[in-house]
Chain A
Amino acid sequence: MIKKFLSLQWKEFFRSAAFQKGIAIKILLVLAALYFGGCALILGVGLFFILKKAVPGIDPMTTVNNFIIFWFMLDLIIRYFMQQMPVMNIKPLMIIPIKKKTIIHFLLGKTTVSFFNILPLFIFVPFCIVLLFQNSDFQYAGVNVFAWFISVIAITQALNFLNILVNKSNTVFYITLGLLATFGALEYFGIYKITALFGMLFNGLYNHPYLVVIPIALACFLYYLNFDYLKKRFYLDGAISKEVKEVETSDLSFLDRFGSISTFLKNDVRMIWRNKRPRQVIFMSCMFLFYGLIFFTQEVYREMPAMLAFASLFITAGFLFSFGQLVPSWDSEYYKMMMSQNIPYRQYLESKWYLMVLAVLVSFILSTPYIYFGWDIFGMIAAGASFNIGINSFVTLFGGALNRVPVELNAKAKAFSNTQGFNPTQLLIALPKMLLPVLLLYIPYVLFGLTTGIICLGVSGIIGLFFKNYFLNIIEKTYQKGKYKTIAAFGEKK
Chain B
Amino acid sequence: MIAIHNISKTYGEATVLKIDKLDIPRGQSFGLVGNNGAGKTTLFSLLLDLIQPSSGYISNKTIKVHESEDWKPFTSSFIDESFLIGYLTAEEYFYFIGELRGQTKTDVDKLLAQFEDFFHGEILNQKKYLRDLSKGNQKKAGIVASFIGNPEVIILDEPFANLDPTTQIRLKGIIKKLAEDNAVTVLVSSHDLMHVTEVSDRIVVLNKGEVVKDIQTSEATLKELEAFFAGNAVQSSEEE
Does chain A bind chain B?
yes
Residue of B nearest to A347 (CB): B100
Q: Mark B74-101, 1 if CB is under 8 A from A, else 0.
A: 0111011011111111001000110111
A245 and B83 CA atoms in complex are apart in Å by 21
Q: A342-B100, A409-B87 given as contacts; is B73 within 8 A of A247 (CB)?
A: no
| Contact, CB under 8 Å: A333 / B89 | no
Residues of A close to B77: CB separation below 8 A: 340
Residues of A close to B149: CB separation below 8 A: 342
| Contact, CB under 8 Å: A334 / B131 | no
Residues of B close to A335: CB separation below 8 A: 82
Q: Mark B102-117, 1 if CB is under 8 A from A, else 0.
A: 1000000000000000
| Contact, CB under 8 Å: B82 / A337 | yes
Check: A271 CB closer than 8 A to any chain B CB: yes
Residues of chain B in range 35-74 having any CB-CB distance to chain A below 8 Å: 48-52, 69, 72-73
| Contact, CB under 8 Å: B85 / A274 | no
A342 and B126 CA atoms in complex are apart in Å by 27
Residues of B close to A263: CB separation below 8 A: 96, 99-100
Residue of A nearest to B48 (CB): A340
Check: A79 CB closer than 8 A to any chain B CB: no
Decide if the interface of chain B is mainly helix, strand, loop or mixed.
Answer: loop
| Contact, CB under 8 Å: A267 / B82 | no
Q: A247-B128, A275-B87 given as contacts; is B50 within 8 A of A336 (CB)?
A: yes
A333 and B84 CA atoms in complex are apart in Å by 8
Q: A342-B73, A343-B72 given as contacts; is B87 within 8 A of A336 (CB)?
A: no
Residues of B close to A342: CB separation below 8 A: 72-73, 100-102, 149
A142 and B50 CA atoms in complex are apart in Å by 67
Query: How close is B217's CB to chain A, nearest CB, in angstroms?
Result: 27
Q: A270-B87, A340-B77 given as contacts; is B49 within 8 A of A491 (CB)?
A: no
Check: A439 CB closer than 8 A to any chain B CB: no
Check: B119 CB closer than 8 A to any chain A CB: no
Residues of B close to A484: CB separation below 8 A: 50-52
| Contact, CB under 8 Å: B86 / A242 | no
Check: A244 CB closer than 8 A to any chain B CB: yes
Residues of B close to A216: CB separation below 8 A: none
A339 and B83 CA atoms in complex are apart in Å by 10
Residues of A close to B73: CB separation below 8 A: 342
Residues of B close to A343: CB separation below 8 A: 72, 100
| Contact, CB under 8 Å: A267 / B96 | yes
- B: number of interface residues (CB 8 Å): 35
| Contact, CB under 8 Å: B49 / A339 | yes
| Contact, CB under 8 Å: B87 / A246 | no
Query: How close is B49's CB to chain A, nearest CB, in angstroms?
Result: 7
Check: A410 CB closer than 8 A to any chain B CB: yes
Q: Report which of B85, B128, B129 forms a contact with A334, defined as CB distance below 8 A.
A: B85
Residues of B close to A275: CB separation below 8 A: 87
Residues of A close to B88: CB separation below 8 A: 267, 270
A270 and B91 CA atoms in complex are apart in Å by 13
Query: How close is B100's CB to chain A, nearest CB, in angstroms?
Result: 5
Residue among A246, A337, A339, A488 facing the most chain B CB atoms (10 A cut-off):
A337
Check: B226 CB closer than 8 A to any chain A CB: no
Check: A487 CB closer than 8 A to any chain B CB: yes
| Contact, CB under 8 Å: A334 / B51 | no
Residue of B nearest to A487 (CB): B50
Check: A341 CB closer than 8 A to any chain B CB: yes
| Contact, CB under 8 Å: A410 / B131 | yes
Query: How close is A49's CB to chain B, nearest CB, in angstroms?
Result: 50
A323 and B129 CA atoms in complex are apart in Å by 23
Check: A249 CB closer than 8 A to any chain B CB: yes
Q: Mark A224-250, 1 if CB is under 8 A from B, else 0.
A: 000000000000000000101111010
Residues of B close to A488: CB separation below 8 A: 51
| Contact, CB under 8 Å: B127 / A247 | yes
Q: A249-B89, A342-B73, A484-B52 given as contacts; is B84 within 8 A of A337 (CB)?
A: yes
Residue among A271, A340, A341 facing the most chain B CB atoms (10 A cut-off):
A340
Residues of A close to B131: CB separation below 8 A: 410
Residues of B close to A271: CB separation below 8 A: 87
A246 and B69 CA atoms in complex are apart in Å by 38
| Contact, CB under 8 Å: A487 / B83 | no
| Contact, CB under 8 Å: A242 / B132 | yes
Which 7 pairs from chain A and chain B are nearest by CB? A337-B83, A340-B48, A274-B87, A263-B99, A342-B72, A484-B52, A247-B127
Interface residues of A (CB under 8 A from B): 242, 244-247, 249, 263, 266-267, 270-271, 274-275, 333-337, 339-344, 409-410, 484, 487-488, 491
Q: List 24 A-B contacts (CB under 8 A).
A: A244-B128, A244-B132, A245-B129, A245-B132, A246-B128, A247-B129, A263-B99, A270-B87, A270-B88, A333-B82, A334-B82, A334-B83, A336-B48, A336-B82, A339-B50, A340-B50, A340-B83, A342-B101, A342-B102, A343-B100, A484-B51, A484-B52, A487-B50, A491-B82
Interface residues of B (CB under 8 A from A): 48-52, 69, 72-73, 75-77, 79-80, 82-89, 92, 96-97, 99-102, 126-129, 131-132, 149
Known: A263-B96, A274-B129, A409-B86. 17 other contacts (CB 8 A): A245-B132, A246-B128, A247-B128, A267-B85, A267-B88, A270-B92, A333-B85, A334-B84, A336-B50, A336-B80, A337-B82, A340-B48, A340-B49, A340-B72, A343-B100, A344-B69, A487-B50
